[in-house]
Structure 1
Amino acid sequence: MKHRWSSSSSNRDPEMSDSGTYQRQLQQLFHLHDSGLDQAFIDALPVFLYKEIVGLKEPFDCAVCLCEFSEQDELRLLPLCSHAFHISCIDTWLLS
């Protein structure tokens, strides 16, 4: 079946007429994905124990679950911003 293009749509790329195709091309162009980060990338982020943080005067909490960290909590660090989160909280968020 051939598509007929009116003069108003003659400048449009037929490939772009399908919004799904357009979305996929944008995702490829900007390296976007429907899902979150790969687990291998997440696993490469630094992990440390909360008690290893020296000089804390006030307790701080996980910005995902809003619970205060305890001494034995393992945290994952996001290196560029230096924010720390419970591993399970941030991993779930980064995977989504």
Structure 2
Amino acid sequence: MAESHSQSPTPCDNHQNHEQVGGFDWMVLVAAILCAFVCALGLNTMLQCAFQCVGRVLTEPMQWIASRRLNSGIKKKEMVALPTSTYSHSGSPSSASSCVICLTEFTNGEQIRFLPKCNHHFHVLCIDKWLLSHSSCPTCRHLTQV
């Protein structure tokens, strides 16, 4: 009677046969393929960006350099030459009563600097710091000319 017992596969053995065929784990293979696909997409995106930037630099170098120099700040000597005045509240609703750089109100007796081309007013410290790195008005973007 002992001979009539046949060995049937246990549920664990059956599960192992579905995941591994010939000692190969299919889930690891699927994860590796998915990871390779995501890496390939990222590399493709980076290469496209690099080629576009290189193409732009090669085809438009003078325009790019000129535009960077044009708005790269003014010299301190030119900045000091810009007109300043003492703020006094005139009561006119059309006049600007706050600095658009720091967003605080002008107070009576405070030194303000205005840009002659567009006539926009700013705190002296605010606009001086701005003009060291930009050559344009922070409000209207007109280039500052002394």
TM-score by length of structure 1 reads: 0.61
- State the partner residue of 1:62: 99
Relative contact order: is structure 1 or structure 2 higher (C-alpha 8 Å, sep ≥ 6)?
Answer: 1
Question: Take 1:46 and 1:63, find their aligned partners in 2: how far apart are those partners?
Answer: 18
Does residue 1:88 correspond to 2:125, yes or no? yes
SS across alignment from 1:67:
coil
Deviation of 1:40 (Å): 0.9
In the alignment, structure 1 residue 36 sits paired with structure 2 residue 73: yes
CA distance in 2, matches of 1:34, 1:63: 19
For structure 2, the residue ranges without an aligned partner over 5 or more in a row are 1-54, 134-146
The RMSD of aligned alpha carbons is 3.1
Between structures 1 and 2, the one with greater helix share = 2
Structure 1 unaligned spans of 5+? 1-16
Sequence identity percentage: 34
- TM-score for the superposition, normalised by structure 2: 0.43
CA distance in 2, matches of 1:40, 1:31: 21
Aligned length: 77
Aligned pairs for 1:4-83 within 5 A: 19=57, 23=61, 25-26=62-63, 27=65, 32=69, 35-51=72-88, 55-58=90-93, 60-83=97-120
Q: Following TM superposition, by how much is the alpha carbon of 1:72 offset from its aligned partner in structure 2, in angstroms?
A: 1.6
C-alpha deviation, 1:81, in angstroms: 0.7
